[in-house]
């Protein structure tokens, strides 16, 4: 049978090169195989083979295409069968693949490749074969290029690091949310893994809906170049999309419909540690000298974490502003936690100064130190400063790979800080009946233990939420009773008799109770029940944040109660404490603004989370979440100063005249 072919010759800008885009129309059968031999100049890159089946019913006897090169072989069948979940099969009659061309050693070397076409069908199968060159196969820095891809027609492009650029960010964007796709970074080697079933075999990859971004470092690629591979998936489940089909028969072929996606890719230089130091130096501010020192020290001393799999869907970074250091993918999110450590250390020094001054006053038998003011206990303040430093450390650990499981590290010392602040507020007016260190830390350990259980078992588990809510209500009732009766009760065999007696005296006979009004305890109980009801009805996926919200609400309510009772008792807040309160409130407001920007969320799929990613906003290095780290560390430091100074007005008041509430 005669093969029909024609060529379209194109003159390139290179003086030596003319290449042809060749089209072949053929009817193929078992007894009529077809072979093609082509040669290309050494600099021709991005050769693409496209096949379209024109006959019906070719699924039973597909055509096999084998492209043989000097150091690579590419084979595929048409119609191409791609598998989805539950072994669903999707046939594609239109297939396009880009040839992987190994590097040549001679400028005059000619590349040869051969295309063999065969089938076991006894009937003729009509097909079209086209061999062409990919436009803009080599990407250029900061130059956007648009293209179209589908599950059977993946695309990949080459990028070469220019001189002076060691780190780049590869961004792929699309106006279309679906179909779900994958962006991969692979080394220059054959074969290129560019199908849905093998794109995760090598290199770094991300699923994407509208956006994906991967930071690439020159040191990871010996050839100073890499491939940007874009693959459209056969199904959308990995990106949070629905599963539209469910096969009735195992071997049923399902029409996937039109899954073409228009995308664009751009490669931009990323800032390095050295560039950051130079940028900070340009500000010529001494309000920044320690930043330069910390950047240089951390860049040289920080331990590297090995990324074994290359799967960038494991960690929920802001990929549009994720600056690596070694194998740390988002070093900026780690570095910004330095504020917690430094301000925690500063608070410890302030507490130490006050402790020394108070100790010297006691040594002098100073009357004010012995008989006036709230008793000075600095142990909890030392614990608060240490907890602030540890919060920075564990937050940095969380940001090595932020995800649902690791979030417990970020929140552990937040529970500690909230608990220590509540204890300190209570200790101010009840220094003689405050909880012991063993009891306090045992309770905090129980909170962290439940946090871990919630992360492991709490997601969608109603039994866990029922058990937790019951324990939460009981614990709140016991703690409220302890506070309400100022420690004058015991949990023993006579507890029921005493409860009946208290109800009789306080409610029926309406005898006078403790100093606090009975309505205070009612408010606590109502608030506790409302939080438990919310947990049971909503069963939030983020148990750690739910538990943290409980701790913060308790702290804020107790702090507000303390301030109100202090003012009602005729006490006043000194100027220094008032300045701290106002300053801290303003900083908390700005900090929360940046916190709620939501640059990523592990309550969605990784691809959906990347839709929230944003570019850097400070020094081309720090993003909104880094600003949250900076401002929240300052706000926590200010909050600690408020607790430290809010009762300084009582330093000259006799202790027997200080109100207890």
How big is the CA angle at 403 (ends 241 and 156), to the nearest 5 degrees?
55
Mean pLDDT of 41-51: 76
221 and 347 in one domain?
no
What residues have CB less than 8 Å from 370, skipping those under 6 apart?
A: 362
Closest CA to 449 of 481, 471, 474: 471
Is residue 283 in some structural domain? yes
- Alpha carbon of residue 576 to chain centroid: 39
Please check the confidence at residue 428 and state whether its pLDDT lies above 50. Answer: yes
The DSSP symbol for 60 reads S
Q: Does a cis peptide bond (omega within 30 degrees of 0) precede residue 578?
A: no
The DSSP symbol for 523 reads H
Is residue 182 in some structural domain? yes
Is residue 236 in some structural domain? yes
Domain count, the chain: 2
Closest CA to 607 of 261, 331, 189: 261
Residues 549, 553, 554, 556, CA torsion sign: positive
Domain that holds residue 212: 9-269
For the record, the structure tokens of 24 come out as 């072949």
- Alpha carbon of residue 235 to chain centroid: 24
Mean pLDDT of 539-568: 86
DSSP string, 249-266: STT-B-------EEEEEE
Closest CA to 316 of 211, 402, 207: 402
Give residue 299's pLDDT.
40
Q: What is the largest CA-CA distance in the chain?
A: 115
Q: Angle of helix 624-645 relative to helix 407-429, nearest 10 degrees?
A: 20
Please check the confidence at residue 639 and state whether its pLDDT lies above 90. Answer: yes
Q: Which residue has the tokens 């439940």?
A: 450
Q: With beta carbons less than 8 A apart as the criterion, state whether 94 and 154 touch.
A: no
Mean pLDDT of 501-511: 61
87 and 17 in one domain?
yes
Between the CA of residue 244 and those of 102, 149, 207, 222, what are the distances in Å? 41, 21, 19, 44
What count of residues does the chain have? 661
| CB-facing half-sphere around the CA of 561: CA atoms within 13 A | 19
For the record, the structure tokens of 516 come out as 């606090």
231 falls in which pLDDT band (50, 70, 90)?
very high
DSSP string, 379-407: HHHHHHHHHHHHHHHHHHHHHHS-STTTH
> b/e per residue, 8-39, with b = 16+ CB within 10 A?
eeeeeeeeeeebeebbbebbbbeeeebebeee
- Of 212, 241, 269, the position where a domain reaches its end is 269
Give residue 86's pLDDT.
79
3-state secondary structure at position 339: helix
Give residue 14's pLDDT.
34
Least confident of 18-27, 308-317, 560-569: 18-27
329 and 311 in one domain?
yes
Give residue 144's pLDDT.
93
- Alpha carbon of residue 395 to chain centroid: 12
213 and 342 in one domain?
no
Q: Angle of helix 338-363 relative to helix 379-400, nearest 10 degrees?
A: 170
In this structure, the number of other CB atoms found within 10 A of the CB of residue 623 comes to 27
338 and 246 in one domain?
no
3-state secondary structure at position 270: coil
Mean pLDDT of 118-138: 83
**Taking all residues of the chain, what is their mean pLDDT, rounded to a whole number?**
81
Q: Where are the beta strands (DSSP E) in 174-217?
A: 181-187, 204-208, 211-217
Residue 516: exposed, middle, or buried by beta-carbon count in 10 A (0-12, 13-18, 19+)? middle
Q: For the segment 55-69, what is each residue's pLDDT rounded down to a tens digit? A: 777 777 888 888 888
Q: Which of 127-136, 201-210, 459-468 has the highest mean pLDDT?
A: 201-210
Is residue 485 in some structural domain? no
363 and 420 in one domain?
yes
Give residue 290's pLDDT.
47
428 and 373 in one domain?
yes
Give residue 162's pLDDT.
92
Q: For the segment 281-330, what is each residue's pLDDT rounded down to a tens digit? A: 554 444 644 444 444 444 434 334 435 567 888 889 999 988 887 667 78
Is residue 497 in some structural domain? no
- Of 247, 269, 291, the position where a domain reaches its end is 269
Is residue 479 in some structural domain? no
Please check the confidence at residue 241 and state whether its pLDDT lies above 50. Answer: yes
The pTM for the full model equals 0.80
Is residue 529 in some structural domain? no
Q: For the segment 357-403, what is each residue's pLDDT rounded down to a tens digit? A: 999 999 998 888 888 888 888 999 999 999 999 999 889 888 888 88
For the record, the structure tokens of 259 come out as 């899954």
371 and 443 in one domain?
yes
Closest CA to 131 of 25, 24, 56: 24
3-state secondary structure at position 22: strand
429 falls in which pLDDT band (50, 70, 90)?
confident
Q: Alpha-carbon distance 60 to 250, whole Å?
A: 16
Is residue 518 in some structural domain? no
Q: Alpha-carbon distance 185 to 324, whole Å?
A: 15
Q: Alpha-carbon distance 53 to 127, whole Å?
A: 4
Q: Alpha-carbon distance 213 to 211, whole Å?
A: 7
190 and 337 in one domain?
no
For the record, the structure tokens of 478 come out as 């016991």
Mean pLDDT of 581-592: 94
351 and 232 in one domain?
no
What residues have CB less than 8 Å from 1, skipping those under 6 apart?
A: 26, 27, 32, 124
Q: With beta carbons less than 8 A apart as the criterion, state whether 381 and 351 touch.
A: yes
How big is the CA angle at 89 (ends 82 and 227), to the nearest 5 degrees?
15
Give residue 342's pLDDT.
94
- Of 269, 299, 328, the position where a domain reaches its end is 269
Q: For the segment 445-494, what is each residue's pLDDT rounded down to a tens digit? A: 888 888 888 877 877 788 888 888 888 888 777 776 666 665 566 666 66
Mean pLDDT of 251-272: 87
332 and 224 in one domain?
no
Please check the confidence at residue 11 and state whether its pLDDT lies above 50. Answer: no
Provide, rounded to the nearest whole percent, the portion of the chain with pLDDT above 90. Answer: 30
Closest CA to 620 of 205, 145, 183, 215: 215
244 and 322 in one domain?
no
Give residue 339's pLDDT.
93
């Amino acid at each position: 049978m005669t093969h029909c072919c024609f060529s379209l010759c194109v003159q390139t800008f290179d003086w030596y090169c003319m290449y042809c885009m060749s089209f072949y129309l053929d009817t193929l059968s078992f007894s009529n195989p077809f072979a093609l031999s082509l040669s290309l100049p050494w600099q021709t890159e991005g050769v693409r083979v496209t096949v379209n089946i024109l006959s019906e019913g070719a699924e039973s006897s597909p055509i096999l295409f084998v492209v043989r090169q000097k150091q690579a072989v590419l084979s595929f069948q048409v119609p191409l069968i791609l598998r989805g979940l539950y072994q669903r099969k999707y046939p594609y009659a239109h297939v396009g693949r880009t040839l992987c061309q190994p590097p040549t050693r001679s400028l005059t070397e000619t590349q040869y490749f051969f295309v063999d076409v065969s089938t076991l069908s006894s009937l003729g199968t009509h097909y079209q074969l086209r061999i062409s060159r990919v436009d803009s196969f080599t990407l250029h820095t900061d130059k956007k290029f648009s293209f179209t891809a589908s599950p059977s027609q993946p695309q990949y492009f080459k990028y070469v690091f220019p001189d002076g650029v060691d780190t780049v960010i590869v961004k792929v964007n699309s106006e279309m949310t679906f179909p779900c796709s994958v962006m991969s970074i692979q080394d220059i080697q054959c074969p290129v893994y560019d199908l849905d079933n093998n794109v995760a075999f090598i290199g770094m990859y991300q699923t994407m809906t509208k956006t994906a971004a991967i930071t690439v470092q020159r040191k990871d690629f010996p050839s100073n170049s890499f491939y940007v591979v874009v693959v459209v998936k056969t199904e959308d489940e990995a990106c949070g999309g629905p599963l539209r089909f469910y096969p009735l028969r195992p071997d049923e072929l399902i029409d996937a419909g039109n899954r073409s996606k228009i995308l664009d890719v751009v490669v931009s230089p990323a800032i390095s540690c050295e560039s950051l130091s130079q940028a900070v130096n340009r500000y010529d501010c001494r309000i920044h000298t320690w930043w330069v020192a910390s950047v240089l020290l951390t860049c040289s001393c920080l331990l590297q974490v090995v990324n074994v799999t290359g799967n960038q869907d494991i960690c929920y970074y802001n990929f549009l502003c994720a600056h690596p250091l070694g194998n740390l993918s988002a070093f900026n999110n780690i570095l910004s936690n330095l504020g917690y450590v430094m301000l925690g250390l500063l608070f410890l020094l302030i507490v130490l100064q006050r402790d020394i001054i108070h100790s010297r006053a006691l040594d002098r038998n100073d009357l004010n130190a012995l008989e006036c003011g709230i008793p000075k206990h600095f142990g909890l303040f030392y614990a608060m400063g240490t907890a602030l430093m540890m919060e920075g450390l564990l937050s940095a650990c969380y940001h090595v790979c932020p995800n649902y499981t690791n979030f417990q590290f970020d929140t552990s010392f937040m529970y500690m800080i909230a608990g220590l602040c509540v204890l300190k507020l209570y200790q101010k007016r009840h220094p003689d009946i405050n909880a012991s260190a063993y009891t306090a830390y045992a309770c905090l350990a129980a909170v962290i233990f439940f946090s871990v259980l919630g992360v492991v078992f709490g997601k969608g588990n109603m039994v866990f939420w029922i058990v937790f809510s019951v324990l939460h209500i009981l614990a709140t009732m016991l703690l409220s009773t302890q506070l309400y009766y100022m420690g004058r009760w015991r949990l023993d065999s006579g507890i029921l008799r005493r409860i009946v007696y208290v109800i009789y005296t306080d409610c029926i006979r309406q005898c006078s109770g403790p100093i606090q009004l009975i309505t205070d305890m009612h408010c606590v109980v109502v608030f506790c029940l409302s939080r438990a009801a919310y947990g049971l009805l909503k069963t939030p996926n983020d148990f750690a944040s739910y538990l943290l919200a409980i701790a913060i609400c308790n702290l804020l309510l107790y702090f507000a109660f303390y301030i109100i009772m202090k003012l009602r008792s005729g006490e006043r807040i000194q100027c220094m404490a008032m300045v701290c309160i106002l300053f801290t409130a303003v900083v908390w407001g700005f900090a929360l603004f940046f916190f709620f920007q939501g640059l990523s969320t592990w309550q969605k799929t990784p691809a959906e989370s990347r839709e929230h990613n944003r570019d850097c906003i400070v020094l081309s290095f720090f993003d909104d979440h880094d600003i949250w780290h900076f401002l929240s560390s300052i706000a926590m430091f200010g909050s600690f100063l408020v607790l430290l100074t809010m009762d300084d007005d009582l330093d000259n008041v006799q202790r027997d005249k200080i109100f207890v509430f």
